[in-house]
C-alpha cells in the first residue's frame, strides 16, 4: 500500500521546518482551559441555550395568545 | 514605559453560582407576593400572560440581587452570613455579576413592557433601580434607616402583579405594599440583633450597631404594633372576608407577643431568632390567606348562583 503525500504539507516541512517532529499535536498559543473550566463553560453554555429556548417559547406563546383567532384574519 | 496587563483567569463559575447570585430565597417571596397581587386584582388575565408577568418579575428580582452582590462584594466577604456568596468565594468576579445583573434587568423590564404592559414594566424598572442604587449603593452604608426606606423595593412586587392585570394601581395593592413595607424593618432588625458583630465588622450602620440593642428592640416593637393592624386592613376595607380578618388578627397578635418578648429580652438572642423565623411565616401566611379568601370567594360565586 502506498501513501500519498500531501504537497502542501511537504512544502511546509521543506521550507519552514517540521512543526510536529514527534507526532504530537501542535501547541496553539493562548489560554488552555483546565478540565474544570471546560466543564463549567459547557454547563453555562447549556444553561444559556435553555434560557434562550425558553425565551423563544414564551414569545411564541404570548404572540399566539395576543393574536388569538385574529391570526387567520388578513386582507386578501 | 511599562505596560500592565491584568491576567484574567477563565471562569470556573457553574450554573449554581449564577443562580445563587439571583438570591433564590428572596426571589421566591417576591414571586409569591407578586402572584397574590396578580390574582387578587379585578379583571381577567390570560394564564400565559400572567405566567409571563411572574417570570419577568422573578428575573427582575434576580437582576436586583446580582447587582446588589456585585456592589456589596467587599462587605459580603466580611460577614459570616454572606461570606459564602459566589463573589466572596471567588467563583464570579464583581464585573461578571454586574454584567449579568444589568443584562437580566434590561431583558426583564423590556419583556414585561412588550409582552404584558408598560405600567408594570415601569414599576419593575423602578424597583430594580431603587434596590440596586438607592438601597445598595446609597442607603445601606450611610444610615440606620437603610432597611426602612430600602424596604420599599421588596414591597413593590404585589403592586407590579396588580398592574400586570389592570394596567394601573388602586388602594388594595397599596395596602399590600404597606404591609410588606412595615414588615421589613422588624424582620431585619430581629436578624441584625444576633448578627451585630458581623454588621459592625463590615461597617454597615445597622440600628443595633449605631443605636444599640435596647433601641433596636424598642423599634421592633413599635413597627410590629403598626404592622399587626395593617395586616387586618384588607378585611376592614372590604377586600377580604372575615375569615381572613380573624386569621390576620391572630397571626398579628403572635407577632406582637414575639416583639414584646424581644423587647423584654435582656441577655441572649433566643427571642430575636424566634421573631426572625416567625416573621417570614407571618408574611407568607398573610398573603396565602388573602389568596385562599379570594379564590374561595370566586369558587363560591361560581358554583352558588
Q: Which of B12, B111, B115 sits opposite A37 (nearest CB)?
A: B12
- Which residues on A lie below 8 Å from B55 (Cβ)? 58
pTM (2 decimals)? Answer: 0.87
Is the pLDDT score of A3 beyond 80? no
Q: Find, among B59, B47, B48, B41, the residue nearest to B102 by Cα.
A: B59
User: B27: which 3 cell numbers?
Assistant: 426571589
Average per-residue pLDDT for chain B: 93
Q: Which residues contact B61 (CB under 8 A, 6 or more apart)?
A: B22, B23, B26, B27, B30, B31, B157
Instruction: Say how far apart CA A33 and CA B103 lie, in whole Å.
Output: 26
Q: Tell me the mean pLDDT in the region A50-68.
A: 93
Domain ranges of chain B: 16-167, 170-298
Top-tier CATH class for B170-298 = mainly alpha
The verdict on A67 touching B (C-beta cutoff 8 Å) is no
Across the interface, do A58 and B14 touch by the CB < 8 Å criterion? no
Domain ranges of chain A: 34-68
A35 to chain B: nearest residue by CA?
A: B12
Superfamily of domain B16-167: UbiA prenyltransferase (1.10.357.140)
Instruction: Say how far apart CA B289 and CA B245 lie, in whole Å.
Output: 9
B15 to chain A: nearest residue by CA?
A: A44
Other C-beta atoms lying within 10 Å of the C-beta of residue B152? 18
Is the pLDDT score of A19 beyond 70? no
Q: Which of B15, B55, B115 sits opposite A44 (nearest CB)?
A: B15
Q: Which of B10, B13, B49 sits opposite A33 (nearest CB)?
A: B10
Q: Which residues contact A11 (CB under 8 A, 6 or more apart)?
A: none
pLDDT at A15: 60
Alpha-carbon distances of B256 from B61, B195, B224, B234, B249, rounded to whole Å? 30, 22, 6, 19, 10
Q: Please tell me the least confidently modeled range out of B1-10, B17-26, B214-223.
A: B1-10
Across the interface, do A31 and B115 touch by the CB < 8 Å criterion? no
pLDDT per residue over B75-108, tens digit each? Answer: 999 999 999 999 999 999 999 999 999 999 999 9
pLDDT at B74: 95
Q: Give the pLDDT band of residue B27 (cuts 50, 70, 90).
A: very high
Q: Which residues contact B265 (CB under 8 A, 6 or more apart)?
A: B217, B271, B272
Give just the sign of the alpha carbon dihedral B264, B270, B275, B281: negative
Q: Tell me the mean pLDDT in the region B270-277.
A: 95
Q: Give the pLDDT band of residue A16 (cuts 50, 70, 90).
A: low
Chain A interface mutation, best of B6, B7, B9, B14, highest count of A Cβ atoms under 10 Å: B14
Q: Give the pLDDT band of residue A24 (cuts 50, 70, 90).
A: low
- Which residues on B lie below 8 Å from A58 (Cβ)? 52, 55, 111, 115
The verdict on A36 touching B (C-beta cutoff 8 Å) is yes
At which residue does the C-alpha cell 438601597 appear?
B135
Q: Find, among B113, B103, B49, B132, the residue nearest to A51 by Cα.
A: B103
**Higher pLDDT, residue A16 or A33:** A33
pLDDT at B304: 65
pLDDT per residue over B157-166, tens digit each? Answer: 999 999 999 9
Instruction: Say how far apart CA B66 and CA B58 lie, in whole Å.
Output: 12
For chain B, give the percent of residues with pLDDT over 70: 96
Q: Tell me the mean pLDDT in the region A16-41.
A: 75
| Cα A38 to the center of its chain, rounded Å | 14
Q: Tell me the mean pLDDT in the region B265-275.
A: 91
The verdict on A45 touching B (C-beta cutoff 8 Å) is no
Residue pairs spanning A and B at CB distance below 8 A: 38
The verdict on A52 touching B (C-beta cutoff 8 Å) is no
Q: Find, among B139, B142, B136, the residue nearest to B203 by Cα.
A: B142
- Alpha-helical (H) ranges within chain A are 7-16, 35-67
Chain A interface mutation, best of B12, B17, B49, highest count of A Cβ atoms under 10 Å: B12
Question: In the 8-state DSSP scheme, what is residue A3?
Answer: P
φ, ψ of residue B287 to 5 degrees: the values are: -70, -35
Q: Which of B14, B46, B111 sits opposite A40 (nearest CB)?
A: B14
Amino acid at each position: 500500500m502506498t501513501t500519498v503525500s500531501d504537497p502542501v504539507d511537504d512544502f511546509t516541512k521543506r521550507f519552514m521546518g517540521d512543526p510536529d517532529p514527534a507526532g504530537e499535536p501542535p501547541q496553539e498559543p493562548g489560554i488552555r482551559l483546565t478540565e474544570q473550566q471546560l466543564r463549567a463553560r459547557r454547563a453555562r453554555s447549556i444553561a444559556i441555550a435553555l434560557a434562550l429556548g425558553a425565551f423563544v417559547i414564551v414569545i411564541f406563546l404570548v404572540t399566539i395568545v395576543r393574536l388569538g383567532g385574529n391570526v387567520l384574519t388578513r386582507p386578501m | 514605559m511599562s505596560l500592565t496587563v491584568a491576567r484574567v483567569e477563565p471562569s470556573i463559575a457553574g450554573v449554581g453560582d449564577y443562580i445563587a447570585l439571583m438570591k433564590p430565597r428572596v426571589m421566591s417571596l417576591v414571586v409569591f407576593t407578586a402572584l397574590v397581587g396578580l390574582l387578587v386584582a379585578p379583571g381577567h388575565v390570560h394564564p400565559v400572560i400572567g405566567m409571563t408577568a411572574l417570570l419577568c418579575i422573578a428575573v427582575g428580582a434576580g437582576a436586583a440581587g446580582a447587582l446588589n452582590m456585585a456592589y456589596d462584594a467587599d462587605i459580603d466577604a466580611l460577614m459570616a452570613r454572606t461570606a459564602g456568596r459566589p463573589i466572596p468565594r471567588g467563583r464570579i468576579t464583581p464585573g461578571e455579576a454586574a454584567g449579568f445583573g444589568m443584562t437580566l434587568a434590561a431583558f426583564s423590564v423590556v419583556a414585561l413592557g412588550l409582552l404584558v404592559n408598560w405600567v408594570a414594566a415601569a414599576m419593575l424598572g423602578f424597583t430594580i433601580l431603587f434596590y440596586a442604587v438607592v438601597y445598595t449603593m446609597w442607603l445601606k452604608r450611610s444610615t440606620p434607616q437603610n432597611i426602612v426606606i430600602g424596604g420599599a423595593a421588596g414591597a413593590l412586587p404585589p403592586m407590579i402583579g396588580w398592574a400586570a392585570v389592570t394596567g394601573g394601581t388602586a388602594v388594595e395593592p397599596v395596602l399590600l405594599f404597606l404591609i410588606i413595607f412595615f414588615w421589613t424593618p422588624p424582620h431585619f432588625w430581629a436578624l441584625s440583633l444576633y448578627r451585630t458583630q458581623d454588621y459592625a465588622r463590615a461597617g454597615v450602620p445597622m440600628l443595633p450597631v449605631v443605636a444599640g440593642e435596647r433601641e433596636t428592640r424598642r423599634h421592633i416593637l413599635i413597627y410590629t404594633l403598626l404592622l399587626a393592624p395593617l395586616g387586618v386592613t384588607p378585611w376592614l376595607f372590604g377586600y377580604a372576608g372575615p375569615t381572613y380578618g380573624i386569621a390576620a388578627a391572630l397571626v398579628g397578635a403572635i407577632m406582637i407577643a414575639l416583639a414584646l418578648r424581644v423587647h423584654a429580652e435582656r441577655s441572649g438572642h433566643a427571642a430575636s431568632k424566634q421573631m426572625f423565623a416567625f416573621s417570614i411565616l407571618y408574611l407568607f401566611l398573610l398573603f396565602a390567606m388573602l389568596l385562599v379568601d379570594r379564590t374561595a370567594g370566586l369558587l363560591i360565586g361560581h358554583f352558588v348562583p
